[in-house]
């Protein structure tokens, strides 16, 4: 199994894959990796709970490394396959630096209906991707996200729990959408934009701007 375009698991040293965050999302990611043929010894967790030494899943004790917040990107040395939402907000710079990796997608009770899905995406429970939608790489989908049919989602985006995307909608790279926000049909969200929690977006959003409210209005540049 390959985790990157140029580096195979067998060619790497030490733990081959790190899962950032040892909570429920991280555990579901571990189960997904192992079910897809990754050896249990090739995966470890990294978490900011210093008292947590191991995570036990299905009888396996998986080691937990520390810390998670202040480690420079170059010190990881292994593919980063998934993150929890809190870590994503704190250290998005690390997430952005793994674009060259191609880890498997991680799903947890997720429904993906004939969509075109890239690599390195993390889908939390009750996420639904409807038919004919395209999803890029290294995105994080929180609990209960719904992507309607015939939509386009770029790469390195963050969807908080409860986000609903109508159809057709285009979400460009690096977009962050807050909890329970709704994106209505016909909208394009520009690269690097931020949509506030609970916002209802009726009109397209310019790149690198923050919008919030009902209906959503521009608050400031990013």
- Domain residue ranges of the chain, discontinuous segments joined by +: 9-96, 106-214
Retrieve residue 70's tokens.
């202040």
Global pTM value: 0.59
pLDDT of residue 46: 76
Residue closest to 102 by CA, chosen among 2, 19, 4, 1: 4
Three-class DSSP labels, 113-125: CCCEECCCCEECC
Q: What is the pLDDT of residues 19-69, one digit of tens each?
A: 777 777 677 777 767 776 777 777 778 777 788 888 888 788 888 877 655
Percent of the chain scoring above 70 in pLDDT: 66
Q: Tell me which CATH code domain 9-96 carries.
A: 3.40.50
d(CA 114, CA 96): 27
If one compares 17 and 178, the residue with the highest pLDDT of the two is 178
Binned at pLDDT 50, 70 and 90, residue 108 comes out as low
Strand partners, 63: 54
Instruction: Indicate the SS3 state at residue 93.
Output: helix
Do 46 and 18 touch, CB atoms closer than 8 A?
Answer: yes
| Spatial distance between the Cα atoms of 172 and 54, rounded to a whole number of angstroms | 38
In terms of C-beta distances under 8 Å and separation of at least 24 residues, what long-range contacts does 144-147 make, across chains too? Answer: 147/115
For the stretch 114-163, pLDDT in tens is 567 887 788 877 888 888 889 998 888 888 899 999 999 999 999 999 99
Domain 106-214 carries which CATH code?
2.160.10.10
């Amino acid at each position: 199994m390959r985790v990157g375009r140029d580096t195979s698991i067998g060619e790497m040293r030490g733990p081959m894959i790190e899962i950032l965050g040892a909570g429920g999302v991280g555990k579901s990611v571990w189960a997904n990796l192992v079910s897809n043929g990754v050896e249990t010894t090739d995966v470890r967790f990294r978490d900011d709970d210093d008292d947590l030494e191991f995570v036990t899943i299905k009888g396996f004790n998986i080691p937990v490394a520390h810390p998670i917040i202040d480690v420079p990107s170059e010190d990881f040395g292994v593919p980063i396959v998934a993150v929890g939402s809190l870590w994503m907000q704190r250290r998005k710079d690390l997430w952005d630096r793994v674009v060259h990796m191609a880890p498997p997608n991680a799903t947890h009770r997720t429904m993906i209906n004939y969509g075109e899905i890239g690599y390195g995406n993390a889908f939390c429970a009750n996420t639904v991707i409807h038919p004919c939608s395209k999803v890029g790489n290294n995105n994080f989908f929180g609990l209960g996200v719904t992507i309607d049919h015939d939509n386009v989602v770029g790469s390195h985006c963050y969807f908080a729990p409860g986000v609903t995307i109508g159809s057709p909608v285009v979400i460009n790279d690096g977009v962050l959408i807050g909890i329970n926000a709704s994106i209505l049909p016909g909208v394009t969200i520009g690269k690097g934009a931020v949509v506030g929690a609970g916002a209802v977006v009726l009109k397209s959003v310019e790149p690198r701007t923050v919008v919030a409210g009902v209906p959503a209005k521009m608050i400031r540049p990013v």
